[in-house]
Chains A and B, each alone.
Chain A
Amino acid sequence: MEANEIISPENLVYKKPTLMNDVPMHYCPGCSHGVVHKLIAEVIEEMGMEEKTVGISPVGCGVFAYKYIDIDWQEAAHGRAPAVATGIKRLWPDRLVFTYQGDGDLACIGACETIHALNRGEHIVIIFINNAIYGMTGGQMAPTTLIGQKTSTCPYGREPALHGYPLKITEIAATLEGTCYVTRQSVESVAAIRKAKKALRKAFEASMAGKGSCLVEFVSTCSSGWKLPPKKANEWMAEHMFKFYPKGDLKDTTED
C-alpha cells in the first residue's frame, strides 16, 4: 500500500490544533508546557470559544504563552493573574477567562491572589503548571519543591528546618467554598493526557456555567531545572511527584 493512499484528508486522525499557531515554542525539549498548551487550544476549539476567550499569562516560562495560542491575552505581573482575570471576567461575564501559571507565580508571590480569587468563586479557571522548580530564572527552589529535592537554592536538598515544607496549595483550594472543581492531572502518557483533557474541558465548562472557580493542576517536568532528559524526567516525576501530589479530582461539585 502506497503512503499516499493513507495520507489523505479523510484519513486524518490527529494534527496540531489550528488555534495553536506555527510560531516555534521556546520551551525546552520535552517540556510539559507544550502538551498543556495543545490541550488548551484543542478544548477551546472544541467548545467553539475561539472568539470569546481571554487568557492571562504569568511570569515564568509560560510568560510567552500568548505567542502560541491565537486568542486575546493579557500578560499579568508576577502572581497577579487571578486578580487580572477577576477584572476581566467580572466585566465580560460571557467570556471564557483562564489563567496559566507556574508554581512560583501561583503558589509563592501570588498565593494570596490565588486563594482569594478561588475563594470568591470567580468564574475563572486557574491552570497550574507544577514542576516543583523555578524554570525560567535558572532552577531555584519553588514552594512545591519536594523534601530532599536539589535545586540551585537548596543544592544539598530541601530541608524543613532551613526551607520549610512543600506547599500543597491545590489541597488548600479544595477546602475553599468558592471552588467547584479542583483537580490534579499530568501529561506524560497518552492515558494521562486523555484524562487531563477531559478535566480541562470540565473546568472550562463549569466556569462558563457559573458553577464557581476551578483549579486544574498539571504535575509537570522541568528537564533543564531537574537536569534530566525528558524520558528520565517523566520517570522521576512518576516516582516522586505523584506520591506527594496525588492525581485525581480533589473536589467536584459541578453536578450539584
Chain B
Amino acid sequence: MAEQEVTLMKGNEAIAHAAIRCGADGYFGYPITPQSEVIETLCALKPWETTGMVVVQAESEVASINMVYGAAGAGKRAMTSSSSPGVALMQEGIAYMAGAELPGVFVNVQRGGPGLGTIQPSQSDYFQATRGGGNGDYYVITLCPSSVQEMADFVDLAFELAFKYRNPAMILSDGIIGQMMEKIVLPPYKPRRTDEEVMEQCPWASFGKKRDRQPNIITSLELRPEAMEVRNIHLQEKYQQIRDNEVRYETQHCEDAEYLIVAFGSAARISEKAIEIAREEGIKVGLLRPITVWPFPTKEVIAYSKGKKGVLVAEINAGQMVEDVRLAINGEVPVEHFGRLGGIVPEPEEIVEALKTKLMK
C-alpha cells in the first residue's frame, strides 16, 4: 500500500494542495481575508511548472468567477475561492454558470457580515449559498467541511459532482476551518486530463469546433419563453436528481438521544464538545451534521428528530439553517436556534446553556 502523506497544515493551505493533486486545470482568484492563503500557497507551489495547472491573480472577484466561467465553458477543471463579500460579487457569475450549465468549483471561507463586515468567522452565508444568491431558479451543490481533512477531500468531490451534473459546486467553509491547523492525509495525485480527454468527456464545451459537429455555444440566454421554460424544467429535473442522489450527512450519539443538535461546519465541531459536556451532565443529546446543505438532508432531519424532545440548531449566524430544519420538521418537535453574531465564535458551554434554557424548561 502506498505510504500516506501525513502533514500538518491550515484549511486554506489544504484547499490549495488538494486542487493541484486532484488535477485541477486552473485557479483564478483574488486575495481576501481570511482565505488569501489559498492563492498564496498555490503561487508558492508553482504548479504550472509541475502539473501545468494555471494560477492567475485576477483583478477582482468579478473577474475571477468569469475566468472560471470561461475555463469551465471550455471543459476544464477551474476553481476560485473567496470570502463572503467577495462571494457576493461572484453571484452574477455563479448564476450565469448555473444557467449555462457549467461545472466550476468555488470556495467561500465565510466571515462576518453583512457588507464588508469583519474578518472573523461566521456561517452567515448559508442563505447566499443555498437560496441561489444570484438571479433565477437555480441551486449550487454545497459541501460543508468541518475539518481540514474535509477541506482537502472536498475539492476533488466538488469537481466530480460539478462535472457529473454540469452545475457549479461550492465548498462552504469558514474562517475557523480556513485558518486552523490539523493533521491530515494529503489526497493522492490525479493527473490532469489531456486535451483529448477533455474533448471526449465534455463534448458540449466550447474549445474549437471540428468540422463534424455543430458549433457549441455556451450561454444562459434564451429569449423565447417556451424554450426557456423547457430549459428551466430541465434544470429543475437535474436539481431533483441531485436531491435524490447526493445528500451527505453524519450523525453522532443519536442512538439513545432525547435531544438533537443540528449543526454544520465549525459549529458542528464545537457542538461535538458541547455534546460531551452535556452527556457528562446526564443530558442525552446527539448530533446530526449536514455535510451537504444543498441538497439539504431533509429526510434525515425528519427521521432523526422524530420522537425527540427538542432540536437545537447551532449555527454562527442569526438563524439561517434553522429555517430548513423547521421546514423539514414541520412542527412535529420544538426547534430552537442558537448562534453568535459579529464574528464571535461560540464556546461549547454556550451551546449546552442554550439547549437547557431553550428546550429543557
Check A112/B93 contact, CB under 8 A, given A87-B66, A90-B26. Answer: no
- Interfacial residues of chain A within 33-72, with CB under 8 A of chain B in the complex: 50-54, 56, 63, 66, 70-72
Note all chain B residues with C-beta closer than 8 A to A53: 208
A221 at the binding interface (Cβ < 8 Å): no
Contacts A70-B215, A72-B216, A80-B63 hold; do A87 and B74 have CB atoms under 8 A apart? yes
What residues of A have a CB within 8 angstroms of the CB of B209 in the complex? 50-51, 70-72
Is A113 a contact of B207 with CB atoms below 8 Å? no
Interface contact B74-A91, CB-CB below 8 Å: yes
Query: Which residues of B lie under 8 Å from residue A56 when comparing CB positions?
Result: 70
Please give, as numbers and ranges, the residues of chain A lying within 8 Å of B26 by CB-CB distance.
87, 90-91
List the B side residues contacting A208 at CB < 8 Å: none
Task: Name the distance in Å between A208's Cβ and chain B's nearest Cβ.
Answer: 13
Is A31 in contact with chain B by the CB < 8 A criterion?
Answer: no
Docked CA distance A92–B207 (Å): 7
Who on chain A is nearest to B100 by CB? A75
When C-beta atoms are compared, the residue in chain B nearest to A119 turns out to be: B59
- Residues A72 and B217 in contact, CB atoms below 8 Å apart: yes
Task: Determine the distance from Cα of A78 to Cα of B81 in the docked complex, in whole angstroms.
Answer: 22
Segment from B179-187, B218-226, B292-300 that makes contact with A: B218-226
Of A56, A63, A77, A91, most B-chain CB atoms within 10 Å: A91
Q: How far is the CA of A52 from the CA of B74 in the complex (A)?
A: 12
Partner of B66, one of A71, A76, A95: A76
Q: Say yes or no: B207 contacts A84, CB within 8 Å.
A: no
Which of B26, B66, B78, B100: most chain A Cβ within 10 A?
B66
| Beta-carbon contact of A86 and B67 below 8 Å | yes
B56 within 8 A of A: yes
B43 at interface, CB cutoff 8 A: no
Whether A84 contacts B208 by the Cβ 8 Å rule is no
User: Chain A: interface residue count, which band?
Assistant: 20 to 34
CB distance from B85 to the nearest CB of A (A): 17
A51, B210: Cβ atoms under 8 Å?
A: yes
Residues of B within 8 A of A75 (CB): 100, 217-221
* A140 on interface, CB distance cutoff 8 Å: no
B66-107 CB mask vs A (1 if < 8 Å, else 0) is 111111111010100000000000001100100010000000
Contact B218 A87 (CB under 8 A): no
CB atoms of A116 and B63 under 8 A apart: yes
B347 contacts A by Cβ under 8 Å: no
Chain A residue nearest to B95 in the complex (CB): A77
In the complex, B62 has a CB within 8 A of chain A: yes
Counting chain B CB atoms within 10 Å of each CB, the highest count among A70, A71, A72, A73 belongs to: A72
Verify if B41 is at the interface (C-beta below 8 Å from A): no
Kindly report which residue of chain B lies nearest to residue A49, judged by CB atoms: B208
- Contact at B215–A84, with CB atoms within 8 Å? no
B53 — nearest CB in chain A belongs to which residue? A91
For residue A112, which residues in chain B have a CB less than 8 angstroms away from its CB? Answer: 59-60, 62-63
What would 28 A/B residue contacts be, using CB atoms closer than 8 Å?
A50-B211, A51-B208, A53-B208, A54-B74, A66-B217, A70-B215, A72-B207, A72-B217, A74-B206, A76-B69, A77-B92, A77-B93, A80-B62, A80-B66, A83-B58, A83-B67, A84-B67, A84-B73, A87-B66, A87-B74, A90-B26, A92-B76, A92-B195, A95-B208, A113-B63, A113-B66, A116-B59, A116-B63
Q: Which 9 A-B pairs have the closest CB atoms?
A: A87-B70, A75-B219, A84-B70, A83-B66, A87-B71, A72-B206, A87-B67, A80-B66, A116-B59
Tell me the B residues contacting A by CB distance below 8 Å.
Answer: 25-26, 28, 54, 56, 58-60, 62-64, 66-74, 76, 78, 92-93, 96, 100, 195, 206-211, 215-221
- Given A72-B209, A84-B73, 7 more A-B residue pairs with CB atoms under 8 Å apart are A51-B211, A53-B208, A54-B207, A73-B206, A77-B92, A83-B58, A113-B62
